[in-house]
């Protein structure tokens, strides 16, 4: 998962881009980058690490200009080399920089096409560089002498025809403007907004609405699936639907975990969607276990708090914070090998024994992925004195790999893959286990926007909205196998501790 941002302003945008990226930091902690435009030149700074580590005062002073884009990366392809940090740049036509959130599933075919037909060289393993070159080549095919919005939109239309997968993109065309667009299924989010200043109207695009609000921009709306917005450097805004057959199918896992709770995605308040997840999960538990003996509901920090509180209220059971999270330990997420993962859990979470001692505890998490972390947390609860430990997941069992930008493990590493709920409960050492029903998860999100008729729920049901070649899944299984992760430090980024469970 990554975060993108772009601003066409009336004053220097370096600080605003920096601030916006810090708000989107939850979407990517592996690398960050900003590029600005001023008087015919591009000024770029990018590198590995958090936003605060990549940009120092001397870098900010060099990022001059009233227009720019930014990116925070969590890699789904490529390495942790700073060469993979975004935005990427290509000099023809005009000079284009681009940041991308998502994942293409026909990257290798596109690479061959770009080299054989377009004579374009791809220098990294990043699908984002591929996407940039496809867009650049299609813009070149327009043969524009004076770039107009129709040239940009025609190029985006061609990108939709050639690229398969998930992509929310922001790109800056040197001397002309910023374009943002969304894949024809709208899998990854992108919004845009505006603010009035004494110097005139400024526009901003970003992955989530919270970035706009934090900078004083008013949210206009989400980009529709397949739609593009183009803002020229004079501040004129243009939009167009560029896909021939768009389908609204956003990733539902954004609402489960990735998006900030104070964001609005596709007209759905994320916080309220998570509240409804807790309500529906509580109702399910009441139906299946009306005579439960739960004494206390405890969330696993932090994303599950909203759902856990509503679940507790639904059951009429006490809600307590039972774990303290160490925020200052070095990043050790998605670690290779079970021993290191177990050690990571113990370093990052510490139980408050008085909340567990002698009680029957229901632990609530947003999801269970690998299961290693869940098992360790259950054992921590038992060691803290819990009589019985039950477990509830605000989302359904994760049984299939994600191919649209979430770097989940290979299918055989997913604890729910090929197991029943009772078998999963036994594997994580829980006395009982409850999962959200998929229909209830969809209902929880759709209630915020009834126009959302379809979602990408592939990690739960194996249905990939774009379609997928089985050979791609087989190759993905090999590349994501646990044994392949150790030499690829890029895999050790972003997913918060509880979501590597």
Catalytic residue numbers, as ranges: 2
Cite the DSSP H helix spans in 225-330: 253, 270-288, 305-315
Taken in order 489, 494, 496, 501, is the CA torsion positive or negative? negative
CA atoms of 499 and 275, how far apart (whole Å): 18
Tell which residue, 332, 331, 337, has the closest CA to residue 485.
337
Tell which residue, 79, 58, 68, has the closest CA to residue 14.
68
CA atoms of 205 and 175, how far apart (whole Å): 18
Token reading at 355: 């909340």
CA atoms of 424 and 198, how far apart (whole Å): 59
Count of C-beta atoms within a 10 Å radius of residue 57: 7
Tell which residue, 391, 403, 381, 389, has the closest CA to residue 477.
403
Tell which residue, 196, 203, 179, 177, has the closest CA to residue 131.
179
Q: Is 366 annotated as a binding residue?
A: yes
- DSSP tag of 254: I
Q: Cα torsion at 144, 149, 153, 156 (round to 10°)?
A: 70
Token reading at 413: 């590493």
Q: Is 197 annotated as a binding residue?
A: no
Pairing between strand 349-351 and 268-269?
Answer: unpaired
Give the DSSP letter string of 163-217.
--EEEEEEEEETTTEEEEEE-TT--S--EEEEEEETTEEEEEEESSHHHHHHTTP
Beta-ladder partners of 166: 103
Asked if 19 and 215 touch (Cβ cutoff 8 Å), the reply is yes
Three-state DSSP at 130 gives: helix
Token reading at 239: 């939009």
Tell which residue, 330, 323, 294, 291, has the closest CA to residue 311.
294
Token reading at 290: 């009306």
Q: Is 266 annotated as a binding residue?
A: no
Binding-site residues, in ranges, read: 303, 365-366
Binding-site residues for Mg(2+), in ranges, read: 303, 365-366
């Amino acid at each position: 998962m990554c975060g993108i941002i772009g601003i066409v302003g009336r004053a220097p945008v370096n600080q605003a881009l920096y601030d916006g990226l810090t708000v989107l930091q939850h979407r990517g902690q592996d690398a960050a980058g900003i590029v600005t435009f001023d008087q015919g030149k591009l000024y770029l700074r990018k590198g590995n690490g958090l936003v605060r580590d990549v940009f120092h005062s001397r870098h900010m002073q060099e990022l001059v200009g009233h227009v720019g884009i930014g990116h925070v990366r969590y890699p789904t392809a490529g390495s942790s080399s700073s060469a993979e940090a975004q935005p990427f740049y290509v000099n023809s036509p005009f000079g284009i920089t681009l940041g991308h959130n998502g994942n293409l599933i026909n990257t290798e075919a596109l690479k061959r096409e770009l080299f054989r037909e377009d004579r374009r060289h791809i220098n990294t393993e990043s699908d984002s560089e591929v996407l940039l070159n496809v867009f650049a080549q299609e813009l070149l095919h327009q043969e524009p002498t004076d770039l107009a919005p129709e040239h940009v939109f025609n190029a985006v239309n061609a990108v939709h025809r050639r690229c398969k997968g998930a992509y929310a993109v922001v790109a800056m065309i040197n001397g002309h403007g910023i374009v943002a667009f969304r894949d024809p299924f709208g899998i990854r989010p992108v919004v845009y907004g505006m603010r009035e200043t004494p110097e005139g109207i400024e526009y901003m695009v970003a992955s989530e609405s919270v970035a706009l609000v934090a900078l004083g921009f008013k949210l206009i709306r989400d980009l529709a699936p397949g739609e593009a917005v183009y803002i020229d450097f004079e501040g004129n805004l243009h939009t167009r639907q560029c896909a021939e057959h768009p389908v609204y199918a956003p990733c539902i896992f954004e609402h489960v975990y990735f998006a900030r709770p104070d964001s609005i995605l596709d007209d759905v308040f994320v916080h309220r969607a998570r509240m409804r997840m807790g309500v529906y999960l509580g109702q399910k538990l009441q139906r299946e276990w009306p005579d439960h003996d739960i004494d206390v509901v405890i969330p696993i920090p932090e994303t599950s708090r909203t759902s856990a509180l509503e679940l507790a209220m639904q059951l009429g059971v006490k809600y307590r914070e039972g774990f303290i999270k160490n925020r200052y330990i070095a990043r050790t997420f998605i670690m290779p090998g079970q021993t290191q993962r177990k050690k990571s859990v113990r370093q990052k979470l510490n139980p408050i024994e008085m909340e567990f001692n002698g009680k029957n505890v229901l632990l609530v998490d947003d999801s269970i992925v690998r299961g290693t972390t869940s098992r360790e947390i259950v054992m921590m609860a038992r060691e803290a004195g819990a009589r019985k430990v039950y477990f509830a997941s605000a989302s359904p069992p994760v049984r299939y790999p994600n191919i649209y930008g979430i770097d989940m493990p290979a299918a055989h590493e997913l604890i729910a893959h090929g197991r029943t709920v009772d078998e999963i409960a036994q594997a994580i050492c829980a006395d009982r286990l409850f999962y959200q029903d998929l229909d209830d998860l969809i209902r929880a999100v759709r209630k915020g926007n009834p126009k959302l008729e379809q979602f990408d729920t592939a990690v739960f049901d194996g249905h990939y909205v774009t379609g997928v070649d089985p050979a791609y899944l087989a190759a993905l299984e090999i590349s994501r196998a646990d044994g392949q992760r150790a030499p690829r430090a890029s895999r050790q980024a972003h997913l918060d501790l509880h979501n590597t469970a």
